Amino acid sequence: MDSFNAIVQVLDSTIRLSVPLLLACLAGLYSERAGIFDIGLEGKMLVGAFAGAAAASVFHSAFVGLGTAVLISVAFAMVHGFASITHRGNQIVSGVAINFVAAGSTIILGQAWFEQGGRTPALQPGERFEAIVWPGAEAIRNVPILGPVYAELISGHSILVYFAFAMVPFTWWVLFRTRFGLRMRAVGENPAAVDTAGISVAWLRYRALICTGVLTGVAGAYLSMVQNGGFVKDMTAGKGYIALAALIFAKWKPVNAMFACLLFGFLDAASIRLQGSPLPIIGKVPVQFMQALPYVLTVILLAGFIGKAIPPRAGGVPYVKER
């Protein structure tokens, strides 16, 4: 029973840890499917996290915080769009720039406004998203197997967790069942064809980037307002890049994205859980190995050793109309 409870706990933290990855991964999915590489996911999450926590603690409302996070994150996405769609700049360069501006400005502004070494004030109850306890969770907690699964895994998360997982089927539906999704995929594969059909490539890509900004904003808000109860400098700590890796791992498909993020979240949860304690058969695994595993797996995947990851064909190429 003890080991079962341990597994449930690891799975529970898997869910918590994979939520920001999942949101960022789906965010990247929108922009990359529309043909815009976005390595600025990290930066957009970071500004989202900062804006969310700052607004929530100033206005004493979690939802104001969430809204601000989304707003600022979308603004950064628009800068990326302005550089890479309107001015046909290098998308990678623009993404790198956004990451730096985000990393620097959150610290500088945080220090200037709150004077707590780059932190925002600790969020009070009501300023952060609380866990939602599902009906009956406490009542059946003691039922073997089913009880802990229902009480720990399904119930007891914040609304943003459910939102993140709801976004998976929603994104699938948008991508494969709506006109916008069809056009978005087309613009990522063959923008000239979309242009010929009389649809604005630029506007379509801007809309995809707005979706990206919204989702990275929520991802950031989750980090600072659910997971942590306040903004800490550089709190994304490479999650944007792991999300990018997950996106490749998922071959740019929403449902796969969920599984990839759960896998990477699980690796993270397991490495925290196992810290220092030996595994059966394998023996003691260095924490650093577990931390590097998502990146190693992605490289192996990219090298084509486990299936082939084929990115959207027009990805990274600015669209130039025939002149």
Round to whole Å and give the CA distance between 59 and 45. Answer: 21
**To the nearest whole angstrom, how small is the minimum distance from the Cβ of residue 98 to other proteins?**
7
**To the nearest whole angstrom, how small is the minimum distance from the Cβ of residue 125 to other proteins?**
30
Residue with Cβ nearer other proteins (69 or 85):
85
User: How many other C-beta atoms are found inside a 10 Å radius of the C-beta of residue 104?
Assistant: 11
Q: For residues 34 and 187, is the Cβ–Cβ distance under 8 A?
A: yes
Candidate residues 58, 238, 256, 266; the one interacting with other proteins per rule CB under 8 A = 238
Q: How many residues bind other proteins (CB under 8 A)?
A: 50
- Residues 6+ positions from 319 with CB-CB distance below 8 Å: 35, 85, 88, 191, 192, 195, 201, 202, 205
Round to whole Å and give the CA distance between 246 and 244. Answer: 5
Residue 160, interface with other proteins (CB under 8 A)? no
List strand residue ranges (DSSP E) for the chain, in order.
131-132, 157-158
Residue with Cβ nearer other proteins (210 or 293):
293
Q: Give the helix/strand (H/E) hosting 315.
A: none
Residue 278, interface with other proteins (CB under 8 A)? no
Candidate residues 146, 303, 306, 317; the one interacting with other proteins per rule CB under 8 A = 303
Residue 286, interface with other proteins (CB under 8 A)? yes
Residue with Cβ nearer other proteins (103 or 153):
103
Instruction: Map residues 105-124 to x or -, x wherever contact with other proteins holds by CB under 8 A.
Output: x-xxx-xx-----x------
Round to whole Å and give the CA distance between 196 and 210. Answer: 24
Residue 236, interface with other proteins (CB under 8 A)? no
Residue 248, interface with other proteins (CB under 8 A)? yes
**To the nearest whole angstrom, how small is the minimum distance from the Cβ of residue 7 to other proteins?**
26
Round to whole Å and give the CA distance between 198 and 305. Answer: 40
Residue with Cβ nearer other proteins (150 or 241):
241
DSSP line for 131-191:
EEPPTTTTTTTTSTTHHHIIIIIISSEEHHHHHHHHHHHHHHHHHHHSHHHHHHHHHHH-H
By CB under 8 A, which span of 19-27, 58-66, 190-198, 289-297 interacts with other proteins? 289-297
Residue 222, interface with other proteins (CB under 8 A)? no
Entry field: residues in the chain? 323
By CB under 8 A, which span of 136-144, 157-165, 222-230, 285-293 interacts with other proteins? 285-293
Give me the amino acid identity at 310.
I
Residue from 38, 54, 179, 168 nearest 97 by CA: 38
Q: Give the helix/strand (H/E) hosting 119.
A: none
Residues within window 66-105 making contact with other proteins, judged by CB under 8 A: 79, 82-84, 87-94, 96-105
Instruction: Map residues 11-50 to x or -, x wherever contact with other proteins holds by CB under 8 A.
Output: --------------------------x-x-----------
Binding site for other proteins (CB under 8 A): 37, 39, 79, 82-84, 87-94, 96-105, 107-109, 111-112, 118, 238, 241, 244-245, 248, 286, 288-289, 291-292, 295-296, 298-299, 302-304, 311, 320, 323
